[in-house]
Amino acid sequence: MKKSIGFKCILIAAAALVTALITVLDPWYALDSFITDPLYTDLTGPDSGIIIIGVDEETLSEYGNFTTWSRQKTAELIDLLYADPEKAPAVTGVDFLFVDKTGEADKDLIKAVSKANGNIVFGSNIVYRGDVVFDVSGKAYYDTDHIEDLEIPYDELSEVSKTGFVNALIAKDGYVRFSQTNKAIPDEVVKAKELGYDSINSFAYEIYKLYCDNTGRTALIPKENKSGQFRFYYSGKTGEYSHVSFKDVLDGKVPPEAFKDAIVLVGAYAPGMQDAYLPAIDRGKSMYGAETHANLIQAYLENKTAVDINNLVLFLTVFVLSFGYLLFARKNKLPVVLVSSVVVGAIWLILGRILAGGGTYIPCIYIWIFLLIADAVFIVLKYFVEKIKRRHTLDVFKKYVAPEVVESLQKSGDFEIKLGGEKRNIAVLFVDIRGFTPLSESLNPEQVVGILNEYLKLVTDCIFRHGGTIDKFIGDAAMAVFNAPFDLDDYVFKAVASALDICEGGKTLGVRLKEEYGKDVNFGVGVNFGEAVVGNIGSDYRMDYTAIGDTVNTSARLESNAKAGQILISEYVYEEIKDRIEASEVGEIPLKGKSNKIMVYSVTGLKE
């Protein structure tokens, strides 16, 4: 027994260990992200203080392909925005690369930016090229994030503005949900090093930092993982941020004061400009780079960032949770297990949501997969175990109840046997063979057993014929109950009918034995009716399904007082079926073990 329990605990621990390892390794990242992206995101709506000026299709239709534009257009836009310092934006981010000089318009752009008093941030681009590099131990590996170059605004423009890299961090499932505040520039990028760029902030963080400086706030750096990255949660879906056409601003259709104290993002807003990404919150749609930056800036402002939970903490938490759940489920019934799994799953989702709001990310799907698999296993196991138990119970009860009753129960499957004790109203029949002892003394053992089996078979057939249950055989006596373990209609009458059949069948057997051995043999029967405790009684090593109580004892005393061929019933039985039986009053007689006499009747037959 102890070995069995120990083996089950080992299996449970192994299942919990596998669950914890899978959760930490995160093999189904895409599926988990599909759930956690909307679950952990609080779409509070876009900040009205962030406005996008988009180079949209209308603008391109008016001014032509963006690659052919003169930088004069950007200079004119900045001039308009900062013509009146009292009505100017707090910060303007230009999500375009102005790396090389192109002509006289560059001077106009520098002049316009200079009037903005350093409140303009231009985009830069980190050029990644996979390369073989060496770690600190000298071991070579292929680094897909190796930086080959840094493309920044040309020198004169850099002197009057700020810059940040616009590269989007695309997760392995193709969606954007990560960002990085700062990126270190390796020594191999000589040009960047010569310009003083040991590292560079992201475009969004540089705008956020400048905005905080201008509004008296403190710029915070989010918690980051070992790679210097963090998750950010979106505030608005595709197209939800306030946006106006670049052309409309230049044409005066949108007044400059509309951007007063705002964070303005100038960027691509047309499909052909190839500056769109898959947002984690709005699957099936592409989001322009300017909108992605807007969400990221708002995430900085509202502290809507998170890092993955420590792997060791995650491992231990999942292991303890899954181990505890399996122990609990093993000891409880299936409905309780199924409800508990829903509760545990819901708690995990709520916990994930709460932690996400506090800056910590936990995966979600693995606990639910574990619960689904565990529940499926428990359903199968408990179904088959229950089926085996039911079949075994029925096989056992074939020895006690009529086979046709068992067959009917097997077909319907509609039965329940309580393995403990229960109180039931039952009819109890005791029958004993009168004259068998002197007969057996003159016979050899094989003859004794053969005759006894013949008598007991008669008893069994008569009891089964009326739906009774054989409780036990006691030498040449037998005990039967009616209305246990299964409900039986009209069970008091059927108990008496069984007694009459037994006595009638005993006459035929008695005649044959009289002729063969010269001995009279017959039955004495006692029947009582009332409440008794029935159930499996005994120990782990030996158990019997039986009935106990005064009702049983009284029936046994009635049988012991019955003469050969006589059926004695209590007044309770008589009152229950007196209109259907032929019976004569015997009178009050004392019964062994009972202080008061009871009224007894002798049954002679059934009324038509």
Q: What is the pLDDT of residues 288-301, one digit of tens each?
A: 999 999 999 999 99
With beta carbons less than 8 A apart as the criterion, state whether 465 and 475 touch: no
What pTM did the predictor assign? 0.67
393 pLDDT band, cuts 50/70/90, is: low
Residues 264-275: pLDDT tens digits? 999 999 998 989
In 218-343, the DSSP E strands lie at: 229-232, 242-245, 263-268, 276-277, 287-288, 305-308
Residues 42-90: pLDDT tens digits? 888 999 999 999 999 999 999 999 988 989 999 999 999 999 999 999 9
By CB atoms closer than 10 A (0-12, 13-18, 19+), residue 446 is exposed
> Does 402 have pLDDT greater than 90?
no
CB atoms within 10 A of CB 162: 20
Report the DSSP pairing between strands 50-55 and 242-245.
parallel
> Does 578 have pLDDT greater than 70?
yes
Tell me which amino acid residue 197 is.
Y
- Per-residue DSSP letters for 399-419? TTB-HHHHHHHHHH------S
Confidence at residue 1, expressed as pLDDT on a 0 to 100 scale: 44
Averaged over 527-549, what is the pLDDT?
Answer: 82
Mean confidence (pLDDT) of the chain = 88
Three-state SS for 107-175 is: HHHHHHHHHCCCCEEEEEEEEECCEEEECCCCCEEEECCCEEEEECCCHHHHHHCEEEECCCEECCCCC
DSSP 8-state symbol, 43: -
Confidence at residue 59, expressed as pLDDT on a 0 to 100 scale: 95
> Does 484 have pLDDT greater than 60?
yes
DSSP 8-state symbol, 490: T
The gap between the terminal CA atoms of the chain, to the nearest Å, is: 59
Averaged over 7-11, what is the pLDDT?
Answer: 81
> Does 2 have pLDDT greater than 80?
no
With beta carbons less than 8 A apart as the criterion, state whether 428 and 551 touch: yes
Nearest to residue 503, comparing CAs of 581, 563, 436? 563
> Does 164 have pLDDT greater than 80?
yes
How far, in Å, CA of 58 to CA of 248, rounded? 9
Residues 111-134: pLDDT tens digits? 999 999 999 999 999 998 866 666
Report the DSSP pairing between strands 263-268 and 91-94.
parallel
Using DSSP, state whether 221 is helix, strand or coil: coil
Confidence at residue 320, expressed as pLDDT on a 0 to 100 scale: 95
Q: Report the topology of domain 411-606.
A: Alpha-Beta Plaits (3.30.70)
603 pLDDT band, cuts 50/70/90, is: very high
Residue spans per domain, the chain: 2-22+309-390, 43-303, 411-606
How far, in Å, CA of 36 to CA of 523, rounded? 78
Confidence at residue 441, expressed as pLDDT on a 0 to 100 scale: 81
Lowest mean pLDDT among 189-193, 281-285, 382-386, 450-454: 382-386
363 pLDDT band, cuts 50/70/90, is: very high
485 pLDDT band, cuts 50/70/90, is: confident
With beta carbons less than 8 A apart as the criterion, state whether 264 and 89 touch: yes
Tell me which amino acid residue 568 is.
L
Residues 309-356: pLDDT tens digits? 999 999 999 999 999 999 998 888 888 989 999 999 999 999 999 999
How far, in Å, CA of 114 to CA of 120, rounded? 9
